[in-house]
């Protein structure tokens, strides 16, 4: 095999992107390395050059897709702006509920790999959102509740609309804005614009 760092990077990127789609469509157990090779147009030895087994691949796919959420959450802006931006990126990044992917952790045998998944989720998504909720509590913009509860409620609202968002053409910002409004104000106070997508 050629020792070309650009080619190596492109191959690894292709594998991660295609594996991400397959794991969401079929779940951990439904994905085979043979199918992934066909989708990537790569040989099995090439695939195993980058990822030693399916478990390692699954862990690295989750790390790859979760990386960058922290930077999005920590961008400057008001709390509503930052929550809308976070919701939009989640809706655009996932094809199926992220909770489904996290449930697939039950198939991971290596405790070190489980720790890597937990760490990626917490450091890139949960902890930065938790800090944002804490800021909102300190300024009085958010209701008196624990930041952990607010984070779980917000993520739960967005998670339940990921599959539906994947079927919607165009920008996910209107839906992200609507769901953030439900989180911030409750159903009674949200006014839906006519041009926003139906839930």
Same domain, yes or no: 33 and 73: no
Same domain, yes or no: 67 and 133: yes
Contact 182, 157 (CB under 8 A): yes
Same domain, yes or no: 93 and 132: yes
Question: Does a structural domain hold residue 197?
Answer: no
Q: What is the pLDDT of residues 89-147, one digit of tens each?
A: 999 998 888 778 778 888 899 999 999 999 999 999 999 999 999 999 999 999 878 99
Same domain, yes or no: 37 and 67: no
Contact 173, 99 (CB under 8 A): no
The residue length of the chain stands at: 199
Question: Does a structural domain hold residue 168?
Answer: yes
pTM tops 0.75, yes or no: yes
Question: Does a structural domain hold residue 196?
Answer: no
| Number of other CB atoms surrounding residue 78 within 10 Å | 10
Instruction: State the pLDDT at residue 99.
Output: 77
Same domain, yes or no: 10 and 83: no
Number of domains in the chain: 2
| CATH number of the domain residue 41 falls in | 1.10.10.60
Q: What is the span of the domain harbouring residue 169? A: 62-185
> Does residue 15 register a pLDDT over 90?
yes
Same domain, yes or no: 39 and 66: no
| CATH number of the domain residue 76 falls in | 1.10.357.10
Same domain, yes or no: 109 and 152: yes
């Amino acid at each position: 095999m050629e020792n070309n760092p650009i080619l190596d990077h492109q191959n690894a990127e292709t594998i991660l992107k295609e594996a991400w789609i397959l794991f969401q469509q079929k779940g951990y157990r439904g994905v085979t390395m043979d199918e992934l090779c066909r989708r990537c147009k790569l040989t099995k030895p090439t695939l195993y050059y980058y990822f030693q087994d399916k478990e390692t691949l699954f862990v690295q796919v989750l790390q790859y897709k979760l990386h960058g959420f922290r930077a999005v959450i920590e961008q400057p802006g008001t709390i509503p702006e930052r929550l809308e931006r976070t919701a939009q990126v989640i809706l655009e990044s996932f094809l199926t509920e992220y909770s489904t992917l996290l449930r697939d952790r039950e198939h991971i045998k290596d405790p070190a790999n489980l720790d890597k998944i937990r760490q990626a989720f917490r450091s890139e998504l949960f902890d930065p959102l938790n800090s944002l909720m804490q800021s909102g509590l300190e300024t009085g913009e958010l209701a008196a509740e624990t930041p952990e509860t607010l984070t779980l409620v917000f993520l739960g609202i967005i998670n339940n609309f990921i599959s539906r968002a994947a079927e919607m053409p165009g920008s996910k910002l209107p839906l992200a804005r609507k769901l953030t409004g439900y989180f911030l104000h409750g159903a009674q106070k949200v006014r839906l614009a006519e041009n926003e997508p139906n839930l």
